[in-house]
Structure 1
Amino acid sequence: MKRLVLFLCCALIGFASLTACNKPQVESASPGPADQQIVDSYTYLYGRYLVLQQENLDIKVEKVGYNKIKYNPLGSAAFVNPNLDVAYLEAWLAVDPTHAVILNVPKITGRYYTAELLNGWGEVITNINERNYPKTPYGKFALVMKGTNPDIPAGAVRVEVPCTKTKMLARVELKGTPLIAKKLQEQFTLTVPEDIKIDPPITVPKFTNAKPIGGEIFDNVEEVVASCEDAMPKASEMQALARQVEAYRKSSEQAKTHVDEVVNTKAIPAFLAGAKGFGTQKGGWSVSYKAGKFGDDMMARDIINYGGLWANEIKEAIYFVGLTDSDKGLLNGDNAYQIRFPADALPSSEVNAFWSMTLYSVPDYRVVDNPMKRYNLSSQSPLKKNADGSLSIWVGSSMPKGALASNWLPSPAGKGFALTLRMYVSKDDVLDGKWFPPEIKHVP
Structure 2
Amino acid sequence: MTSPTETDSLSGLAADAYVYGYPLVFDVSMISAFMYKGFGSLPPTPFNRFGHSTKLATPDAHFVSVNNDTVYSIAQLDLSGGPILLHVPDTAGAYYVLQFVDVWSNNFAYLGKRATGTQEGDWLIVPPGWSGTAPDTVAGVIHAPTAVISIVGRNACDGPDDMPRVRALQQQLTLTPLDPATHRTGLPALDPDVPEEVLFYERLRVWMAAFPPAGPDQDHQERFQPLGLLEDGPSPYVNPAPALVKTLTEGLKAGKARVEAASNPSGDGQRPPGAWETNPHLFDYNLDHFGIGTIDSPQWKTADREASYLLRAAAARAALWGNHGYEAVYAHTFTDSGGKQLSGARAYTLRFEQPPPVDSFWSVTMYDTPDYYLVANPAHRYSLGDRTPGLVYGEDGSLSIFIQHERPDDPAEAANWLPAPEGVFRPMIRLYTPRQSVLDGTYQLPHIVATD
TM-score interval (norm. to shorter): 0.7 to 0.9
Aligned to 2:276: 285
3-state SS, counterpart of residue 115 of structure 1: strand
Q: Which residue of 1 aligns with 2:103?
A: 120
Residues 366/128 of structure 1: CA separation in 2 closer, same or farther (3 Å cut): same
Identity %: 26
Deviations 1:360-416 (A, max 9, x none): 3556654333333222112111333457654333444445899922333334444x6
Q: Give the distance between the partners of 2:241 and 2:416, measured in 1 at CA.
A: 60
Task: Quote the Cα distance in structure 1 between the aligned partners of 2:345 and 2:367.
Answer: 15
Q: Which amino acid aligns with 1:368?
A: V
How far did residue 307 of structure 1 move?
A: 3.3
- Matched with 1:4 is none
Equivalent position of 1:5 in the other structure: none
* TM-superposed deviation, 1:126: 0.9
Q: Does 1:410 align with 2:419?
A: yes
Cα displacement (A) at 1:429: 0.7
Say whether residues 1:379 and 2:386 are aligned partners. Answer: yes
Task: Give 2:173's match in structure 1, choosing from 188, 192, 201.
Answer: 188
Tell me the CA shift for residue 314 of structure 1: 1.5
- Comparing 237-246 with 41-50, greater Cα deviation is found at 237-246
Give me the TM-score of the superposition, normalised by structure 1. Answer: 0.76
- Report the Cα offset of residue 423 of structure 1: 1.0
Cα distance change, pair 322–354 in 1 and its aligned pair in 2 (3 A): same
Q: Which amino acid aligns with 1:219?
A: E
Partner of 1:360: 367
Q: Is the CA contact (8 Å cut-off) linking 2:56 and 2:157 kept in structure 1?
A: no
User: For structure 1, which segment, 244-253 or 164-173, has the greater mean C-alpha deviation from structure 2 after superposition?
Assistant: 244-253
Task: In structure 2, give the amino acid aligned to 1:276.
Answer: N
Query: Structure 1: how far apart are the matches of 2:337 and 2:258?
Result: 23
**2:326 is equivalent to residue 315 of structure 1:** yes
CA distance in structure 2 between the aligned counterparts of 1:123 and 1:154, rounded to whole angstroms: 28
Where do residues 111-190 of structure 1 align in structure 2 (5 Å cutoff)? Answer: 111-129=94-112, 131-133=114-116, 138-149=120-131, 152-156=134-138, 157-174=140-157, 178=162, 179-190=164-175
- Shift of the 199–299 alpha-carbon distance from structure 1 to 2, 3 Å rule, reads same
**Alignment partners' CA distance in 2, 1:399 and 1:151:** 61
Counterpart secondary structure, 2:9: coil
Show the counterpart of 1:256: 245
* Match 1:197 to one of 184, 187, 193: 184
CA spacing shift, 1:325–1:438, aligned 2, 3 Å: same
Counterparts of 2:20 and 2:343, CA distance in 1: 31
Unaligned runs of 5+ in 1: 1-25, 206-212
1:88 matched residue in structure 2: 72
User: Which residue of 1 is the match for residue 45 of structure 2?
Assistant: 64
Q: Greater shift after overlay, 253-262 or 63-72?
A: 253-262
Contact 1:225 1:239 in 2 (8 A): no
CA distance in 1, matches of 2:183, 2:276: 45
8 Å contact kept, 2:101–2:108: yes
1:398, 1:354 → 2: CA distance? 27
**CA separation in 2, counterparts of 1:238 and 1:443?**
54
User: Of 294, 310, 315, which aligns to 1:304?
Assistant: 315
TM-score, structure 2 as length reference: 0.75
Q: 1:130 to 1:441 in 2, by over 3 A?
A: closer
Structure 2 alignment gaps of length 5 or more = 39-43, 231-235, 286-301
Distance 1:328 1:235, change over 3 A: farther
Which residue number corresponds to residue 19 of structure 1?
Answer: none
CA distance in 1: counterparts of 2:311 and 2:83, whole angstroms: 32
Pick one of 260, 280, 294 that aligns with 1:272: 260
Structure 1 contact 122–305 (Cα < 8 Å) conserved: yes
> For residue 430 of structure 2, what is the aligned residue in structure 1?
422
What's the Cα RMSD here?
3.8
Residue aligned with 2:154, SS: strand
CA pair 340-401 structure 1, distance change in 2 beyond 3 A: farther
Letter in structure 1 aligned against 2:280: Y
1:391 aligns with 2:399: yes
CA contact (8 A) 2:146 2:212 kept: yes
Distance 1:292 1:201, change over 3 A: farther
Q: CA deviation at 1:111?
A: 2.1
Q: Is the 8 A contact 2:328 2:434 kept in 1?
A: yes
Q: Report the AA paired with residue 260 of structure 1.
A: T
State whether structure 2 residue 29 is matched by structure 1 residue 45: no
Q: Matched residue of 1:128: which SS?
A: strand
- Cα 1:150–1:432, aligned 2, differ >3 Å: closer, same or farther? same
What do the CA deviations read for 1:169-224 (whole angstroms, capped 9, x no partner)? 2233335772434322322112132544142476699xxxxxxx986533332213
Q: Aligned to 1:117, what secondary structure does the other structure show? A: strand
Native 8 Å contact 2:85 2:175 kept in 1: yes
Instruction: State the distance in 1 between where 2:419 and 2:190 align.
Output: 38
How far does residue 152 in structure 1 lie from its aligned partner after superposition?
Answer: 4.6
When residues 114 and 429 of structure 1 are mapped into structure 2, their CA distance, relative to the original with a 3 A threshold, is same
